[in-house]
Amino acid sequence: MATAVAEHHAEHHYTSTGLPHTKIAIWAFIGSECFFFASLISTYLIYKGRSVVGPFPHTPWTDPSTGHVYHPILNIPVTSTSTFVLLMSSLAMVLAHAAVERSDHKWSRIWLLTTAALGATFLGFQAFEFTSFVHEGLKITTNLFGSTFFITTGFHGAHVTAGVLWLITMYFIDKKRGLGPRDAVNVDVMALYWHFVDVVWVAIFTFLYLLQ
């Protein structure tokens, strides 16, 4: 009986490449997203150094009308920490995927939750960063740096948020019925998305934060 069902299942879900549809779709999606983030990062780079008023990312600025001195906005040590947190979440994601594949419910739940928690921590860092930047005088409307910086990192943050919601949803499904090998592909697709969002962050960190 079980074999018959499995066979029927296999024939019903025949694909030309042998890969599940979601896997092809996520790669197409990632290709599309590359162009999306490339456009955002390119705009940042094109506008780099073109802001007519401060504050600036890496250099101090004195407001000529008030004489107020604005510190460089970016805080590389803090963002390096959050970058490390996000990269560690990718490691946790790999472990979660491995646990799902061997139907190890205890560890799959632990690692899914850990990945989500690390993602949420990264978002916490970003919230802290954004509020402190606004506090120091940089809003999205202040200058070209503010506009391009907030929109690029903001869209990335939105992607992380979606990923965290996805992870939490998977965690609850795992809790409800236990994720097994047949769910591995869904976790795999989620992992691809998550790693991609991490890689985008590495690009953003390099071009927006480290590049002087």
Partner 1 sequence: MATTVAAPSVTGKAHKYESGIWSWLATTDHKRIGQLYMYTAIAWFVIGGIEALFIRSQLYGPNGRLVSADTYNQLFTMHGTTMIFMAIMPLSAAFFNLLIPLQIGARDVAFPRLNAFSYWVFLAGSVFMNVSWLIHAAPDGGWFAYAPLNTRQFNPGVNMDFWVIGLQILGLSSLAAGFNFVTTIINMRAPGMHFMRMPVFTWAAFVTQFLIILAFPIITVAVTFLLFDRFFGTNFYEIAAGADPLLWQHLFWLFGHPEVYILILPAFGLVSEVLPTFSRKPLFGYPVMVYSLILIAFLGFGVWAHHMFAVGMGPVADSIFSVTTMLIAIPTGVKIFNWLGTMWGGNLSFKTPMLFGIGLVGLFTIGGISGVMHSSPPSDLMQTDSYFIVAHFHYVLFGGSMMGLFAGVYYYFPKMTGRMMSEPLGKWHFWLTFIGMNLAFFPMHFAGLNGMPRRIWSYDANQGWDFDNHLSTYGAFIIAFATAIFLYNFLRSRGHGALAGNNPWDAPTIEWSMPSPPPDYNYAKIPTVTSRYPMWPQQGPTPLSPPVPTAGGDQPLPTYQTAEQLGIHMPTPTIKPLLATMGLTLAFVGLIWHRQIPIILLGGAIFIVSLYAWVLTPLEPEH
**3 sits near partner 1 (criterion: CB under 8 A):** no
Nearer to partner 1, 41 or 118 (CB): 41
Residue closer to partner 1 by CB (options 119, 146) is 146
Using rule CB under 8 A, residue 43 touches partner 1: yes
The closest alpha carbon to 134, from 61, 65, 66, 70, belongs to 70
Candidate ranges 38-46, 69-77, 100-108, 128-136; the one touching partner 1 (CB under 8 A): 38-46
Closest separation between CB of residue 81 and partner 1, Å? 28
Can you list the pairs that 201-207 forms with residues at least 24 positions away whose Cβ atoms lie under 8 Å? 201/83, 201/86, 201/156, 202/83, 202/87, 203/37, 203/41, 204/37, 204/41, 204/152, 204/153, 204/156, 205/79, 205/83, 207/41, 207/44, 207/45
Position 114 contacts partner 1 (CB under 8 A): no
Q: Pick one of 12, 64, 106, 212: the residue that binds partner 1 (CB under 8 A).
A: 12
Residues at the contact surface with partner 1, assessed by CB under 8 A: 1, 5, 8, 12, 14-17, 19, 21, 24-25, 28-29, 31-33, 35-36, 39-40, 43, 46-47, 50-53, 140-141, 143-144, 146-148, 151, 169
